[in-house]
Structure 1
Amino acid sequence: MTLIAPVLPFGYHARPARADDVPAIHALITECDREVYERPRKDVGAIIADLGRPRLVPELDTVLVFDRTGSPAAWAWVDRRSEIDVHPEHRGRGLGTALLRWAQERGRQAGADRLVQIVPDGNAGAGALLRAWGYDPLLTSWLMEFRMPDEPALPRSPTGVSVRPYRDGDGPAVHLLVEDAFDEWQERRAAYEEWALRTVERPAFAPDQSALAFADGQLVGTALALDVPGADEGYLEQVAVRRSHRRLGIARLLLRHSFRAFHRAGRRSCTLWTHSDTGAVDFYRAVGMGVRHNSTVFRKELRSPAAT
């Protein structure tokens, strides 16, 4: 298949991303995150997981852009979803537009029907660019925060339910629980290897702060935690409860166990992302979490006659 190269502004050049670029990409993304979120959002493991997406071919589906000095200025990948990050010092020079055009061309070449991108509402320029290129808002995402100056108290456990931290060997059972729980709104089920790269095999995975709930010896819920370097707060990557055991207080119990474990590790806040398709934002508000940041999920149909 022919490699599609982005048409870049003068003074920039690009090539596909490689495994040894991960530290440089992480540094670039960290600068982007600090501008919007005031702290790192991704660890190195998240980038490794993006490059390891099952259908992503790095030589075709990624672009790393360099300036005249050879420093990374932007990067992008596309695999049904697309992510584009432009270093704050290089914005306003046409890199975002060039990479957006590249992502759409590569998406069409790969046979994708649509592309999805997530943009922080604090990055008004990126949102305006996507709208101008025919992207429509699809979902709202919220970064929820639980502040804990004092150690969180645990609620009473539902009858017959016990909670313990994650242990080696729990991965396959937790994976099955999560995929079953998320089946109702996600596009596809992730294979264990893909899921593990984003969760239990990430360098930032925090087993001691991850909580598993059991009822009569059966795994019925989990809260999987990350301790992202430089973030100074806990983060919950996935929270899931088996459908047959919802509305019993298990999710609240799991959250509180993770919150308390992070507090004992010296963290004074904990965050997680949720979006409007899950219907969970009211629950998180009810357990004392507030919204710190909003993002919008945009979608563009690539096969429509009006596609740019």
Structure 2
Amino acid sequence: MDERAPIAERAQAPETLPEITAGDLRWRPATVDDAPQLTVLTNTMAEADGAPFRETEEETREELGAEWRDLEHDSLLGFEADGRLVASALVATFPGDTSTVRAFAFGGVHPDRRGEGIGREVLAWQLARARQILAASGKELPGRIGAYAEDDDPVSKHRLFLHAGLEPRRYYSDLKRPLTGDAPPIPEVELAPPLRLVPFSPEVDEATRLAHNDAFRDHWGSEPQTAEQWTNGRSEFAPEWSFVVVDDEPDVDALVAAPSTDAGTRAALEAGAPLVVAYALNSRYEADFPVRGYSFGYTGVLGTRRAYRGRKAALAALAASMRAFADAGMEAAVLDVDTENPSGAHGLYASLGYVKEHGSTMYSIEL
């Protein structure tokens, strides 16, 4: 397919979605009220597949309730005759996409009902719906249909993606850094003024979002986050463990005039808002503690504005985070990293004592 063709052409969207007949299940769209049953299904699948995580009902509710989510058209739940939920499908999109328009497939089948062809038909429905979404997006951009698989997932899941035409595109590492016992000391990082480390607070939240969008502009697969995306899904967020670095004396005139400064940052600077240049935002996933066998703080987003790289700002935020984890009695620090991260983050984490525990693969169809 010609990559210069309109997205409506490249997506090759079907007029109707394929029917799911395998397993003789009753199908309907999800609602936020399905969060309790869906959480049970998700965690049952995770346990069977040896996944290193579990979901809380609140996390599921947040995912289903995102204000841009169109559950009526982009989700399906499969029930047995007695009402037990045994299969789920969600096609997730992101309103902030500006360089690649994306649709990701999430879901699965209860371990008791695998081997009946349900998963294959569910994925076919998801891919067809993803093509419809991309075709209707009106965004004349490259398109991507994606799905994730943990390295420990059954081989059949990886084969299912390959058979459906998705290709392994990106690899991620789940890293752990011990904080107790004979763990190396957490580094002391001094910042040269006018850079200053401060605890995260609502007053710097929007400035942190702008910093994140700038920091990840050159990262493969990353797209700007809208304000709604940025604040969604924070049920496990630990602001008391999170830190940002601000520039107390930014050269506002130079930054406003620089072609590389995004419109959001430019407007914020002109309005006198603080300039966040690095950040480490962390969460406390207590439901995962017994699964992993240790308590930990999780660094969900970490980055530095591109103009401030090389000044140890993100390292200072990460070190402060690790110290906060340790002070709270956590046994380890955990984070995920793209193995081809352009900022060289993988090497930095290794130097700090992080080692790989798990991995995952993103499969995709590029349009």
TM-score (norm 2): 0.74
1:159-174 equivalent positions in 2, closer than 5 A? 159-160=192-193, 161-174=195-208
SS in 2 for 1:10: helix
Partner of residue 156, structure 1? 189
1:31 offset after TM fit, Å? 2.6
1:249 and 2:312 matched: yes
CA distance in 1, matches of 2:179, 2:29: 43
Cα 1:36–1:289 shift into 2, 3 Å: farther
Cα 1:38–1:194 shift into 2, 3 Å: closer
Q: Which deviates more from structure 2 when the two are superposed, residues 265-274 or residues 52-61?
A: 52-61
In the alignment of these two chains, the number of paired residues is 299
Q: Which deviates more from structure 2 when the two are superposed, residues 3-12 or residues 187-196?
A: 3-12
Partner of residue 216, structure 1? 248
Cα 1:256–1:87 shift into 2, 3 Å: farther
Amino acid at match of 2:235: P
Partner of residue 137, structure 1? 168
CA distance in 2, matches of 1:158, 1:174: 18
Partner of residue 231, structure 2? 196
SS in 1 for 2:115: coil
Amino acid at match of 1:242: R
Unaligned segments of structure 1, at least 5 residues: 304-308
Cα 1:277–1:228 shift into 2, 3 Å: same
Partner of residue 61, structure 1? 74
Encode CA deviations 1:77-101: one digit per residue, 9 max, x unaligned.
Answer: 1131111232333322222111101
Encode CA deviations 1:259-282: one digit per residue, 9 max, x unaligned.
Answer: 121122221112111113423222
Cα 1:94–1:231 shift into 2, 3 Å: same
1:1-308 equivalent positions in 2, closer than 5 A? 4=17, 6-36=19-49, 39-52=52-65, 56-78=69-91, 79=93, 80-112=103-135, 113-123=143-153, 124-150=155-181, 152-160=185-193, 161-185=195-219, 186-198=221-233, 202-216=234-248, 218-232=275-289, 233-279=296-342, 280-301=345-366
CA distance in 1, matches of 2:50, 2:316: 28
| 8 Å contact from structure 2 (residues 77, 88) kept in 1 | yes
SS in 2 for 1:260: helix
CA distance in 2, matches of 1:289, 1:51: 33
Encode CA deviations 1:223-263: one digit per residue, 9 max, x unaligned.
Answer: 11111232232111100111122122222222221112112
Q: Which deviates more from structure 2 when the two are superposed, residues 80-89 or residues 264-273?
A: 80-89
Cα 1:59–1:38 shift into 2, 3 Å: closer
Cα 1:88–1:29 shift into 2, 3 Å: same
1:62 offset after TM fit, Å? 0.6
Taking only aligned residues, the RMSD between alpha carbons, in angstroms, comes to 2.5
| 8 Å contact from structure 2 (residues 189, 319) kept in 1 | no
Cα 1:224–1:182 shift into 2, 3 Å: same
| 8 Å contact from structure 1 (residues 43, 229) kept in 2 | no
CA distance in 1, matches of 2:45, 2:23: 22
SS in 2 for 1:285: helix
Encode CA deviations 1:9-29: one digit per residue, 9 max, x unaligned.
Answer: 234222111011122222222
CA distance in 1, matches of 2:64, 2:159: 27
SS in 1 for 2:237: coil
Q: Which deviates more from structure 2 when the two are superposed, residues 99-108 or residues 83-92?
A: 83-92
CA distance in 2, matches of 1:43, 1:254: 27
| 8 Å contact from structure 1 (residues 6, 101) kept in 2 | no
Amino acid at match of 1:153: I
| 8 Å contact from structure 1 (residues 154, 257) kept in 2 | no
SS in 1 for 2:287: coil
| 8 Å contact from structure 2 (residues 246, 278) kept in 1 | yes
Partner of residue 306, structure 1? none
Encode CA deviations 1:15-47: one digit per residue, 9 max, x unaligned.
Answer: 111011122222222233334455434444543
| 8 Å contact from structure 2 (residues 282, 297) kept in 1 | yes
SS in 2 for 1:184: coil
| 8 Å contact from structure 1 (residues 220, 242) kept in 2 | yes
Q: Which deviates more from structure 2 when the two are superposed, residues 99-108 or residues 42-51?
A: 42-51
| 8 Å contact from structure 1 (residues 146, 269) kept in 2 | yes
Cα 1:276–1:295 shift into 2, 3 Å: same
Cα 1:295–1:38 shift into 2, 3 Å: closer
